[in-house]
Amino acid sequence: MSRVCSLTEAVAEMVHDGDTVALEGFTHLIPHAAGHEVIRQGRRDLHLVRMTPDMVYDQLIGAGCATRLTFSWGGNPGVGSLQRFRDAVENGWPHALQIEEHSHAGMATRYAAGAAGLPFGVLRGYVGTDLPQHTESITPIECPFTGEALTAVTALNPDVSIIHAQRGDRHGNVQMWGLLGVQKEAVLSARRSIVTVEEIVDEFQPVPGAVVLPSWVVGAVCEVPGGAHPSFAQDYSVRDNAFYRAWDAISKDRTAFTEWINRHVLGTSNFAEYRTSVGLEVGASV
C-alpha cells in the first residue's frame, strides 16, 4: 500500500545515489516538481531513463545528478536541442554522460516487458540501423516457429519510477487520464515508485479514458498542484509553451543555467517556492 506523504519525504526515502530512475511523461504530465526535488536533494550518479528526455532531464543533467542516460529522443519539443544534454555528451560538462540509445518502439517494448515480469521483449525494429552496434540491450532473436529474424531488447526495471497524475485519493490510489504515454508501464516495471498528483480527493469520479493505479502498486503519492509545469495536466492546466521556448536561451549558457538552477531550484525549498521564484504566481512564465 502506498504512503501519502510530502514529495520531500518521498524523494529522500526512495531515490538514492546511483539508482536507475525513470521520470516518465510523454509531453503531458511530466513530473517536473519531482525532478527539481531530486536536484535539490543533491542526488548523484543517477542512471536516468526516459523515452523523451526534455527540459527536466536537461536540468538534472546540467545540475550534475546523472552519469548515464537511457533514452530514445532527447530534445525540446517544438523548440530545438537540449543544450545541457548536448554539452554533457559533446563536451563532458559538468561531467561525462554515458548514453544507451534506443528507438521509441524499443523503449516502449522494454517498459512493457519490465511491467510484465519478462526479461526481454520482442519487436520488429532496429534492423538495418546503426543502433544495435552501439547499444548492448538490443540483439537479434529468431521466431522459434517460423525462423523469422526479429529483435529482442532487455526489459527495463528502474529502481524508481516517478510520474505525475491528476488525482490521488487518501488510500494512495492514483487516477490519470489524457495522453498517458508509458507511465503505467514505468510504474509497474519499477521496484519503487512516486506519483505526484494535482490533488488528493476523497473518492475518484469516473473519467473517460482514465487509468487507475491501485495503491498496492504505488510507493508514494504526493500532492503537488501544478507539479508538471511547464508540462500540463489535462483538465487542470495547459502547456506553458513560452516557458519551453525561454528554456533554450537559459540552457544555452553554462553560467545562465547554473544561476537559474541555483536561484530557482537549489535556492527554494519546495515546488511552491519555486513557482513563486520563477514568477508563476503572478502570471509571468519565466
Give me the residues that bind another protein (CB under 8 A), please.
26-28, 51-52, 71-75, 77-78, 81-82, 85-86, 89-90, 101-105, 108-109, 111-112, 115-118, 123-131, 134, 148-149, 173, 178-182, 184-185, 188, 209, 211-214, 216-217, 232, 234, 238-239, 241, 244
Please report whether residue 214 would count as binding its own copies according to CB under 8 A.
no
* Contact of residue 146 among its own copies, another protein, none (CB under 5-8 Å per partner type): its own copies
- What is the torsional sign of CA 255, 74, 10, 280? positive
> Looking at residue 232, what DSSP letter applies?
B
Nearer to another protein among residue 11 and residue 166 (C-beta): 166
Q: Say whether the peptide bond before residue 214 is cis (omega within 30 degrees of 0).
A: no
CA atoms within 13 A on the CB side of 116: 13
Residue 154 binds: one of its own copies, another protein, none (C-beta under 5 to 8 A by kind): its own copies
Closer to its own copies at the Cβ: 42 or 214? 214
Among its own copies, another protein, none, the one that 119 touches (CB under a kind-dependent 5 to 8 A) is its own copies
Helix axis angle for 55-62 and 241-252, nearest 10°, is 30
Contact partner, 57, from another protein, its own copies, none, Cβ < 5-8 Å per class? none
DSSP code, position 76: B
Which position has the grid cell 489535462?
234
For residue 94, is the peptide bond before it cis, meaning its omega torsion is within 30 degrees of 0? Answer: yes
Q: Identify which of residues 146 and 255 has a Cβ nearer to its own copies in the complex.
A: 146
Kindly tell me the number of DSSP H helices and DSSP E strands found in the chain. 10, 13
Cα-based angle 273, 173, 110 (whole degrees, multiple of 5): 90
- Name which of another protein, its own copies, none residue 131 binds, using a CB cut-off of 5 to 8 Å depending on partner kind: another protein
Our CB check for its own copies shows the closer of 18 and 209 to be 209
The minimum distance between CB 92 and another protein, in angstroms, equals: 10
The CA-atom distances, in angstroms, between 151 and each of 3, 46, 106, 217 are: 39, 28, 9, 30
Q: What is the CB neighbour count within 10 angstroms for residue 217?
A: 16
Alpha carbons 97 and 66: distance in angstroms, whole number: 7
Taking residues 139 to 178 in sequence order and writing x for each that binds its own copies by CB under 8 A, - otherwise, the string is: xxx-xxxx-x-x-x-x------------------------
Q: Which residues contact its own copies (rule: CB under 8 A)?
A: 117-124, 137, 139-141, 143-146, 148, 150, 152, 154, 206-210
